Chain A
Amino acid sequence: MRLIESRTTFVLTYAALAILLLITLFPIALLVLNSLKPATQIVQNPLAWPEVYRWDNFVRAWADARFGTTMLNSALLAALTIVLVCSTGSLTAYVLARRKIKSWKIVTFYLLATTTAPIQLFLFPLYFGFAKLGLINNVFAVSLIYTAIYSPFAIMLLRTYFLAVPKELEEAALIDGATHWQVFSKVMLPIVSPGILTVALIIGLYSWNEFLIATTFLQRTDRLTAVVSFFLLSGQYTSDWGEIMAAALIIVLPVIVLFIALQRRFIEGMAGGSVKG
């Protein structure tokens, strides 16, 4: 079924959608195109096709941004955050979805409120406090910060998955003599595992891309994340835009591939967490 039948409207609609498509893809195309060009050619014309393919842009970018180390840091940070968010978040989401405690409403509203608090409201004491405890440049400490920031979002999303599980399942398990913990870990968790996977993807993406916290708390050369080392490379160490775009592509490519492969999960997860309560 269609909303309208007129052929012109139809053509116009596609034309407009195509223009928006071009606008969206244009900067990404520039990124890819120029990652292959020598700096001198970029200065002449950022739109031109590469005269020579400078694959060594990637080699230099990899070395200069120390991606060997920094990508590993980013991956470690993302993995830690995923584990923390999913484990603590699913516990909380279950309790809140099933209203297992009387104060579930207060806890929910408190968590919602923290999602809207500006980072600057807690950044400065946190920074000085962590410094005092020697936690600057500590990947685990940063994953704790991410966990605090991303948990409410993850909990709200997971909550909807728990809500979708029929209550009877839980009751049946209890009657069969399962403990509360067994009900949660053996019955509920396996059912909501698709939701947990979605949350893991989104949280992984957020921690991989995060900038403000990472740049503030991880500054030792061997602790930088990939995004921060890209930022330093592009701002301070080189003005060879071929190399900078190559570094950008190295960080973005795995994300884009993953996104295209698992688009449904990404889109539903990111959109879902903020739309549904």
Chain B
Amino acid sequence: MHRLYLVPTLLINVVIIFIPAVLTIALAFYRWDGIGMPVFIGLANFRQLLTDRVFWMALGNNVIWTAIFLTVPIAMGLLAATMMLVARRGSAFFQVVYFLPMVIATAITARVWQGMIYSPLTGIAGLVTRAGFPVPNPLTQPSTALYGIAVVDLWHWWGFLCVIFFAALRQVPQEQIEAARIEGASFWQMLRYVLLPGIRPTITLMMIMTIIWSFLVFDFVYILTQGGPAFSSEVLSTLAYRSAFYDLAVGKAAAVAVVISLFGLATTAVYIRLQAKEFDQ
């Protein structure tokens, strides 16, 4: 009887996600331009990816992206969260402001940074350049484009982590903190030996989610640079999207999507295992 309760959710999920996902995996073995009949070509799509410079560049960028987001925003979030714990007064206000970028649509955040900050014409970069300190638009240099995008995503994202860590920190038992304080622990010692271990599960979970999300990043790259210039900021998800809808190579796009999923799969397994522990409690 209760089984019926699951039907709507599972039906929608299977039709929208599961079946198309299976089809994507199948498509990865075909050549299809979205017009004619798909042609079975075995592993050729994957073999082509192996020799495709852009694919490797995109994969590399995903790895760099993961590395950035595993460190910078988590460090920022932890630091700010502990500082809020110290400050106490006003922490509710800081928390709301830091979280604010999360509720702004990515398309809008991207445009504000693009036009108001990075643009050499209408942005702060242009203003500084006109004042005699040339600042190139980071999105237009192959060496900095990816980092230029990452900064925007960081701005959008770190506050979310900060709020989560702050919530977790407040759950650290007061007695532990008090005990450490009586023993004369400095702030850093407190952080290192009491607070961080206290919220370890939260940090681990956020790191796992970061890895998963880093392979899904799309919006900011697509809007800010479309992967350019010269593919320097291409990531796997934009490569897949462009291949399918602009280069008429749906099979190749499917192959890239499968690769993204493979990378996600291992992490997802860890994620589910961690969640499983929680369920068993």
Interface residues, chain A, with chain B CB atoms under 8 Å away: 1-4, 9-10, 13-14, 16-17, 20-21, 23-25, 27-28, 30-31, 34, 42-43, 45-47, 84, 87-89, 91-92, 94-95, 100-101, 105, 107-109, 111-114, 116-126, 128-129, 144-145, 147-149, 151-152, 155, 180, 184, 205, 208-209, 211-212, 216, 227-228, 230-231, 234, 241, 244-245, 248, 251-252, 255-256, 259-260, 263, 266-267, 270-271, 274-277
Contacts of A276 in B (CB 8 A): 278
**Shortest distance between the CB of B116 and any CB in chain A (Å):** 4
**Cβ-closest chain A residue relative to B152:** A27
- Residues on A with C-beta less than 8 A from B222 are 212
Say yes or no: is B150 at the interface (Cβ < 8 Å to chain A): no
A-B contact pairs, 8 of them (CB 8 A): A9-B187, A46-B124, A88-B8, A95-B6, A121-B257, A255-B105, A271-B164, A271-B167
Known interface pairs A120-B260, A244-B115, A271-B164; A24-B9 also in contact (CB < 8 Å):
no
In the assembled complex, which residues on chain B have CB atoms less than 8 Å from the CB atom of A147? 12, 16
Report yes or no: B96 in contact with A211, Cβ–Cβ below 8 A. no
In contact, B261 and A121 (Cβ under 8 angstroms): yes
| Interfacial residues of chain B within 97-136, with CB under 8 A of chain A in the complex | 97-109, 111-113, 115-117, 121-124, 126-127
Flag if A27 contacts B271 (CB, 8 Å). Answer: no
A95 smallest CB distance to B (angstroms): 5
Chain A residues lying within 8 Å of B177, measured Cβ to Cβ, are 3
Task: Given A27-B155, A255-B103, decide whether A16 and B12 contact each other with a Cβ distance below 8 A.
Answer: no
- B205: CB under 8 A from chain A? yes
A127 to B281, CA, bound (A): 41
Provide the bound-state CA to CA distance between A212 and B221, in Å.
12
Asked if B253 lies at the interface with its beta carbon under 8 angstroms from chain A, I say yes
B219-257 residues at the A interface, CB under 8 angstroms: 219, 222-223, 237, 240-241, 244-245, 250, 253-254, 256-257
Shortest Cβ gap from B137 to chain A (Å): 14
Quick check: A211 and B107 within 8 Å, CB to CB?
A: yes
Known: A46-B116, A101-B2. A248 touches B108 (CB 8 A): yes
With both beta carbons as reference points, the residue of chain A lying nearest to B209 in the complex is identified as: A274
A275 touches B202 (CB 8 A): yes
Give the distance in Å from the alpha carbon of A151 to the alpha carbon of B18 in the complex: 14
Q: How far is the CA of A13 from the CA of B17 in the complex (A)?
A: 46
Assess the A151–B117 pair: CB atoms within 8 A. no
Given A20-B98, A118-B257, A125-B23, verify A255-B5 contact (CB < 8 Å): no
Compute how far the CA of A120 lies from the CA of B9 in the bound complex, rounded to whole angstroms: 21
B54 CB-CB contact with A under 8 Å = no
Q: Which residues of B contact A266 (CB under 8 A)?
A: 99, 103
Q: Residues 138-157 of chain B: 1 if any A CB is under 8 Å from the residue's CB, otherwise 0? A: 00000000000000000100
Distance A113 CA – B17 CA, assembled complex (angstroms): 11
CB distance from A268 to the nearest CB of B (A): 8
Residues in A whose Cβ lies below 8 Å from that of B80: 16-17, 20
Taking a contact as CB atoms under 8 Å apart, the answer to whether B212 and A116 are in contact is yes
Q: Which residues of A contact B121 (CB under 8 A)?
A: 43
Query: Do B116 and A34 touch (CB < 8 A)?
Result: yes
With both chains docked as a complex, state the minimum distance between the C-beta of A236 and any C-beta of chain B, in angstroms. 12
Q: Is the CB of A248 within 8 A of B111?
A: yes
Q: B16 contacts A126, CB within 8 Å? A: yes
In angstroms, Cα B9 to Cα A148, docked, is 7
For residue A203, give the distance in angstroms from its CB to the closest CB of chain B.
13
Q: Is the CB of B27 within 8 A of A125?
A: yes
Partner of B279, one of A108, A128, A205, A241: A108
Q: Do A95 and B20 touch across chains, with their CB atoms under 8 A apart? A: no
Contact A241 B105 (CB under 8 A): no
- In the assembled complex, the Cα of A123 lies from the Cα of B261 at a distance in Å of 13
Q: Quick check: which of B43-51, B64-72, B84-92 contacts chain A, the rest being far away?
A: B84-92
Bound-state Cα–Cα, A82 to B90, Å: 33
Given A10-B86, A17-B90, 12 other A-B residues pairs in contact with their CB atoms under 8 A:
A1-B178, A9-B187, A101-B3, A105-B279, A117-B264, A120-B24, A120-B241, A123-B20, A205-B103, A212-B222, A230-B108, A245-B112
Whether the pair A3, B181 counts as a contact (CB closer than 8 A) is yes
Tell me the minimal C-beta distance from A1 to chain B in angstroms. Answer: 7
- CB neighbours (8 Å) of A4 from chain B are 86, 187, 190
Q: Is B57 an interface residue (CB 8 A)?
A: no
Indicate if B160 sits at the interface (CB-CB under 8 A).
Answer: yes
